[in-house]
């Protein structure tokens, strides 16, 4: 696939982190053509990570969330269409159909529609007091509910659920957090760190129910009053936060020729792209909606993290202008819960070996490494690093992850005398 020689009209659908990165980068590279940014949310584009952190806690107001102040948008010379959903794509005629029954033509299109929170009907969708947390409206609603006190049940102990639970406890709200997995965020962090996290939540007063799912939300007169767990127990709630994940926002692409991933067939959902984010002739995708081909594994991978959205957006901007893109570097995430400010580069997870090489999990200051195991079960290379309270060291270890450095002797010897080292 190749880019159209010289696009004159760039259309970006999705006005958030990835969309912003695209439009800023094309301008930075001297693109003087028309740029239209279409977004279904009202107002100026804002950042999502603070929604479950500073905004929810009431520490930031909404203005602080803006990705760029109004003057900077004006300087970019971008036509921003807020509160305007794209409802269809006619790739043959290179047109995006909008909710207001108009269509907009493009020479280059970037799909940056992100993801939508999943809300299964069985979990009280439509009931008062039950909600997801994906956008500003959700966050303000949840903040309002927490301010009124009551009791919060968080369904799902992933990034969003665990962060919201921590904020709610900070506000003095009683919280029960439920997850069918044995520990919070265990698939991402691995057992050892997840156990530390579980202890933090319990120490903060969260009633943590792991290893059990939520069967249904119970209600009275259209308002949630609690949840029934799979083990039959009932937990009272005035607010239920459903934080069970997000799915790429691709509904509007139905019937277009854009290749979409099927979880069973491709192992991933979202817009299937090559290793530079191109999905079809004149069409690219970036951010949470995009599943880029990983040249190392030969499989498509979708990242739901903020840095990836920006990096993919910038790479796509270069590619559509026919320039050599700087490809996204290592996966990176952070998560704030209580005094923990976890940051990670590279691969992490339950299937990998884990060793603390400096500090300790119990102190809360540590550097932990993740590594893929060889045939004998021993870790071979440094494939990921997770730190808390040692941000400077993160950069050093980032290079080791980039180099896939051999598993260090200090980690192996740490195994001998540390309880905190597993799988070695």
Ligand X SMILES: Cc1cc2nc3c(=O)[nH]c(=O)nc-3n(C[C@H](O)[C@H](O)[C@H](O)COP(=O)(O)OP(=O)(O)OC[C@H]3O[C@@H](n4cnc5c(N)ncnc54)[C@H](O)[C@@H]3O)c2cc1C
Identify the bridge partners of residue 12 per DSSP, sorted by sequence position. 37, 110
Smallest separation, CB 192 to ligand X (Å): 21
The residue behind tokens 């319990």 is: 202
Backbone angles phi, psi at 76, to 5 degrees: -75, -20
Smallest separation, CB 330 to ligand X (Å): 13
Nearer to ligand X, 167 or 361 (CB): 167
Nearer to ligand X, 110 or 355 (CB): 110
Backbone angles phi, psi at 392, to 5 degrees: -65, -40
The residue behind tokens 């980068």 is: 25
Nearer to ligand X, 100 or 326 (CB): 100
Tokens of 232: 């039959």
Smallest separation, CB 383 to ligand X (Å): 19
Nearer to ligand X, 260 or 307 (CB): 307
CA-based torsion, 128, 133, 137, 142: positive or negative: positive
Smallest separation, CB 35 to ligand X (Å): 15
Smallest separation, CB 394 to ligand X (Å): 14
State the alpha helices, DSSP H only, in 190-304. Answer: 191-203, 263-266
- What is the side-by-side order of every strand in the sheet holding 365-371? 332-337, 340-346, 384-388, 365-371, 353-360
Do the Cβ atoms of 153 and 239 come closer than 8 Å?
yes
Nearer to ligand X, 255 or 406 (CB): 255
Smallest separation, CB 216 to ligand X (Å): 24
Query: What residues have CB less than 8 Å from 50, skipping those under 6 apart?
Result: 60, 64, 65
The residue behind tokens 């792991």 is: 210
Smallest separation, CB 62 to ligand X (Å): 14
Smallest separation, CB 343 to ligand X (Å): 9
Nearer to ligand X, 136 or 224 (CB): 136
3-state secondary structure of 179: strand
Query: What residues have CB less than 8 Å from 186, skipping those under 6 apart?
Result: 194, 350
Do the Cβ atoms of 115 and 269 come closer than 8 Å?
no
Q: What is the DSSP string of 236-254?
A: E-SEEEE---EEE--GGGT
Smallest separation, CB 188 to ligand X (Å): 11
Nearer to ligand X, 163 or 226 (CB): 163
CA 381 to chain centre: 26
Nearer to ligand X, 186 or 357 (CB): 186
CA-based torsion, 379, 382, 388, 390: positive or negative: positive
* Footprint on this chain of ligand X (rule: CB under 6 A): 13-19, 38-41, 48-49, 51-52, 85-86, 112-115, 133-134, 159-160, 249, 252, 287-288, 304-307, 309, 333-335
Nearer to ligand X, 134 or 209 (CB): 134
3-state secondary structure of 206: coil
């Amino acid at each position: 696939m190749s880019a159209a020689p010289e696009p004159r009209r760039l259309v970006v659908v999705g006005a958030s982190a990835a969309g912003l990165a695209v439009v800023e980068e094309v301008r930075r590279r001297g693109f003087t053509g028309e740029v239209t940014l279409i977004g279904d949310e009202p107002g100026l584009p804002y950042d999502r990570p603070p929604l479950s952190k500073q905004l929810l806690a009431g520490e930031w107001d909404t203005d602080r969330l803006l990705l760029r102040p109004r003057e900077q948008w004006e300087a970019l010379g971008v036509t921003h269409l807020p509160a305007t959903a794209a409802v269809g794509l006619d790739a043959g005629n290179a047109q995006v159909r909008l909710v207001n029954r108009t269509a907009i033509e493009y020479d280059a299109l970037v799909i940056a529609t992100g993801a939508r929170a999943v809300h299964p009907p069985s979990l009280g969708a439509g009931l008062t007091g039950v909600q997801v947390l994906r956008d500003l409206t959700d966050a303000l609603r949840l903040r309002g509910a927490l301010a009124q006190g009551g009791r919060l049940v968080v369904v799902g102990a992933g990034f969003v659920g665990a962060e919201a639970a921590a904020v709610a406890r900070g506000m003095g709200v009683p919280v029960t957090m439920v997850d069918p997995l044995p520990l919070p965020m265990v698939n991402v962090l691995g057992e050892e760190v997840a156990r530390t996290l579980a202890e933090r939540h319990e120490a903060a007063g969260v009633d943590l129910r792991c290893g059990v799912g939520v069967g249904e939300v119970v209600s009275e007169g259209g308002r949630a009053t609690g949840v029934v767990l799979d083990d039959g127990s009932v937990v009272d709630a005035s607010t239920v936060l459903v934080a069970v994940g997000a799915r790429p926002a691709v509904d509007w692409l139905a019937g277009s020729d854009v290749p979409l991933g099927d979880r069973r067939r491709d192992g991933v959902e979202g817009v299937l792209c090559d290793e530079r984010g191109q999905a079809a002739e004149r069409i690219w995708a970036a951010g949470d909606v995009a599943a880029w081909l990983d040249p190392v594994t030969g499989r498509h991978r979708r990242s739901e993290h903020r840095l990836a959205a920006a990096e993919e957006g910038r790479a796509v901007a270069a590619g559509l202008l026919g320039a050599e893109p700087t490809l996204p570097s290592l996966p990176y995430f952070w998560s704030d819960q209580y005094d923990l400010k976890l940051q990670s580069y590279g691969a992490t997870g339950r299937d990998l070996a884990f060793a603390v090489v400096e500090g300790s999990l119990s102190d809360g200051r540590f550097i932990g490494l993740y590594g893929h195991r060889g045939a004998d079960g021993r870790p071979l290379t440094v494939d990921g690093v997770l730190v808390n309270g040692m941000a400077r060291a993160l950069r050093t270890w980032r290079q080791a992850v980039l180099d896939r450095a051999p598993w260090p002797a200090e980690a192996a010897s740490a195994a001998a005398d540390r309880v905190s080292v597993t799988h070695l």
